Structure 1
Amino acid sequence: MDNNEAKISELLGQLMQEHGITVEKLAFTTNIPHRFVAALVNGDFKRLPAKPYVGGYLSKIAAALNVDPTVLLKAYKESTEIMRSGENDKLPVNRFAIQNINKNFIIVFLVVILVVGFLSWRMKDILGTPSLRVSLPETTLVSQEQVIKVSGQVSSGDQLTLNREIVYTDEAGAFEKDINLTPGLNTLEFDVKRFLGRETKVIRQIFYEEQLKPIVE
């Protein structure tokens, strides 16, 4: 129980304990409604009726407990004044709390704006469709060399694979790779993926004509 509201309640509790009187017995003896006696004993002043009624109740209680009525009336007055003072004292605290809430809200709001702005700026790099350029023509290339060099360009940060094997790029996204061809038609499937975004596939074909060595000179 709040000490500011406990002065009259502590005094009543002490007197009732000395005389061995319960709330029920005190209410019955004084003919005061039980809820009002309990409110005084518990310091729950908001449940009490108007002051004139409370003054009359305290006088009856004082007579039942054989105590000077002015003692109880003074204790009740001081307790209610302290309670009202305590309520007024809360105003600066509440204003300070509101200021803290507003300050925290502004900080969170600014952080959200920065994050949204950054994501909007990087949206294309994160969610867009990746680009891919390779040095091979779209039509089938015929080669008589078993090993050819393939180069190209992707956006920095995108992941590139060739026939499901990772191809590493430099910081600018450029790449080069030697391809070991097998006789006949070779299919090269380039696949570039963007983080949280789409993927782009490019397929190129190379026909390797193996040069046969003469069996006679």
Structure 2
Amino acid sequence: MIPFVSNKLFLDSETVAEQLRRARQEKKIKLEQVAKKLNINYKYLNALEKGDYDKLPKGVYGKNFLKEYSNFLGLDYPELVATYELEVNVYQPREEKEVFSRQLAKKQYFWSMPKVIKNFLIIIVIVICFVYLGVRLNKIIVAPDLLVLSPADNFITQQSIVEVRGKTEVEVEVTINNEIILSDVYGNFSKMINLKNGLNIITIKASKKYSKSKIIVKQVLVKEK
């Protein structure tokens, strides 16, 4: 940022930098001494006296330095800060001002809200996090879904073979009578099972790591032809 100098906007008045520098010189005190007394970094006071506003902290911090310095010199701060803001608006790039203003507005909006509302919002965020973690944990430990489409319950047939067909979740291990059955990418599985005469017990189990197993038992009765 180019140091602020007088132009046609300020022909009838001194700039902030000129007023600060003149007031200090009238008191016959060095800038280093002022920095030490006010406990403000020398470079910030020097930036104020030179109009190098881009070297100052953004927002209220820069104004606080100006307030302390102007009060120390016995200057009228409200009048001085009004001129300061005008000078900053004249020389600060528009894009930089808009970005900073948006960021500052967001922060001010949040911190200006009543404490009850802020606490309520914080609690809501915490609850959402716990719910999300609970859902994820439940998905890990709960037994997977298992649907057996065939055969029907208490199925009676005269055939010596039956198709066991069903659907479960993806990446779930399926076994039929302790034999691992491969499922497709959608969780569908199918297996032809040989039957014997009389009552046949078919046990279908779906399980995944760290979870309980889901077990469905089908009874198939084979009648002699």
Q: Which has the larger radius of gyration?
A: 1
TM-score (norm 1): 0.40
TM-score (norm 2): 0.39
